[in-house]
Amino acid sequence: MAIECIHTVRELQARADAERAAGKRIALVPTMGALHAGHASLFKLARERADCVWVSIFVNPTQFDDPRDLAAYPRALASDLALCRDAGVDLGFAPDAAEMYPAGAQTIVEVGALAAPLCGASRPGHFRGVATVVTKLLCAAKPQVAVFGEKDYQQLAVIRQLVRDLLLDVEIVGAPTVREPDGLALSSRNRHLDPDARRQAVALVRALDAAEAAVAAGERVTERLLALVRAELAAAPRAETDYAELRDPTTLAPAPARLAGPVLLALAVFMRPPNGSEGKTVRLIDNRVLHPKQTQVSRSEP
């Protein structure tokens, strides 16, 4: 039996009003489709927090800085809805671009400092598109809770900020990153990796592990930690580093020269095609919050 799928905002809003009137709690999981087991974990978490689990499937054009990337993004609505059905999702929302961005639309949502570094620096306008479409989806579905993956750490931070700033009555929940057996974070982009690029992509995991091990061993100097990370990434010839940075986990401000508390290690690489090849370049991201142990200072009794 196929899952129910709604295509218009007006119909979705009417359904939300009815469910709320019946005392039901709605959870929304916004996605761009190309669903995989990582998304299914979001659906499971949503089910734990709500009576109704709704999934939006919309490839948002305003968050792509490269038209070729937008054109190449996988679209497989039938198989996505089948995965939703098997995962126990109650409703799919699959609008087209004209439904989400009606003719003459002029309003955008833009978050400031949180959206500026990392992916914001390398993909200008990306988070403006994310913030705008997420705000629209929250207005359309009227959920009490919305679930996002922690793999997109900066995106989650931006969404939490916009919800606070715009006084939106919705709880934002972050779900842990789901990984493949070798540690690579699940991503719809992984399907574009050729076998050699897929093997080399594990350099991201090795870089995170190296930094975590160094911190556990007592390393606190930011530049030495980043040198370890860069060395691991450089060991993968086809991985071109976009950024490898240590940031405050809350504000995303640059980490101090010497760590004194938890720090976000954020990575992004371009997996390039082999030399002389016209294959696809695939951008991958990953992150981990590192937790230096606090040194106890002994004090003599007066």
Confidence at residue 293, expressed as pLDDT on a 0 to 100 scale? 85
- What pLDDT score was predicted for residue 278? 76
User: Could you say which of 36, 39, 126, 192 is catalytic?
Assistant: 39
Concerning whether 36 is annotated as a catalytic residue, the answer is no
For the CA atoms of 205, 211, 214, 215, the dihedral, rounded to the nearest 10 degrees, stands at: -120
Burial of residue 292 (number of CB atoms within 10 Å: 0-12, 13-18, 19+) = middle
Convert the pLDDT of each residue in 260-271 to its tens digit.
999 999 999 999
State residue 276's pLDDT score. 63
| Residue from 130, 106, 126, 129 nearest 117 by CA | 126
pLDDT score at 69: 87
Domains of the chain: 5-175 (3.40.50.620), 188-290 (3.30.1300.10)
Residue 128, phi-psi category: left (phi > 0), alpha (psi -120 to 50), beta (remainder): alpha
Q: What is the pTM of this model?
A: 0.94
Q: Which residue numbers in the chain have pLDDT < 50? A: 296-302
End-to-end, the C-alpha distance of the chain in Å comes to 75
Give residue-wise pLDDT tens across range 15-64: 999 999 999 999 999 999 999 999 999 999 999 999 999 999 999 999 99
